[in-house]
Structure 1
Amino acid sequence: MTQGKTLIIVLVTLVIGFGAGFTLRPIIAPAAPSAAAISAPAEPRGTQYFAAHLDEARQVVAQCAEGTVRGAECANAEQAVVEAEGRDRFKRFMGN
């Protein structure tokens, strides 16, 4: 009879323990953030975006020179800045 009681107590304890573990798991160890929340934008911003936002393009070019930003955004931002400076020089040359 004592073996039967012991077995029932062990089974009830295991069921309560597993149930509590599954219930409290999200609280004890939250799930890792998704990859979409961590990663940067999937595609680099284009030259047209940087042409419309020259201050941001200049910041990106400066960050590229420091080495903190890499990739296609560097080229796009640099191209937008060079084109804007070229247009300004042309306007000054033409007297506009």
Structure 2
Amino acid sequence: MTQGNTLIIVLVTLIVGFGAGFVLRPVIVPVERAPALASPAPAAPRPAEPRGTQYFAAHLDEAGEIVTQCAEGSVRGGECANAEQAVIEAEGRDRFKRFMGN
């Protein structure tokens, strides 16, 4: 029976010790805060998002210029596909209107 009592006393002591350590840790060793920076670090310039097909559908003249520049190789990226898609859709609408007689 003494071994059972000793085991219980050891376990209770460990539980109380760990509990007190978790509760008192912020008091014993305060958490250090990171120093505040005066200004954030300059970020690398992010490339602008390519304009969408809807933008080029509203500005067909600009879309035509972008498609021409893409063919020359002076412009690259998502704008080429979006501008070309807008031009193709506009030409398709015009052909459909002519076919229907409007």
Q: Paired residue for 2:51, among 42, 45, 48?
A: 45
Query: Are 1:86 and 2:92 counterparts?
Result: yes
Q: Matched residue pairs, number?
A: 60
Question: Aligned partners of 2:74 and 2:67: how far apart in 1?
Answer: 10
TM-score norm. by structure 2 comes to: 0.55
TM-superposition CA deviations, 1:36-60 (whole Å, max 9, x none): 5xx75x2000000000000000000
Aligned to 1:71: 77
The Cα of 1:63 is off from its aligned counterpart by: 0.1
When the two chains are superposed, the root-mean-square deviation of aligned CA atoms in Å is 1.5
Identity of aligned residues (%): 82
Runs of 4+ in 1 over 2 A off after TM superposition: none
Larger radius of gyration: 2
Question: Aligned partners of 2:82 and 2:90: how far apart in 1?
Answer: 12
Given residue 75 of structure 1, which amino acid in structure 2 is its aligned partner?
Answer: A
Q: Which sections of structure 2, spanning at least 5 residues, go unmatched? A: 1-42
TM-score norm. by structure 1 comes to: 0.58
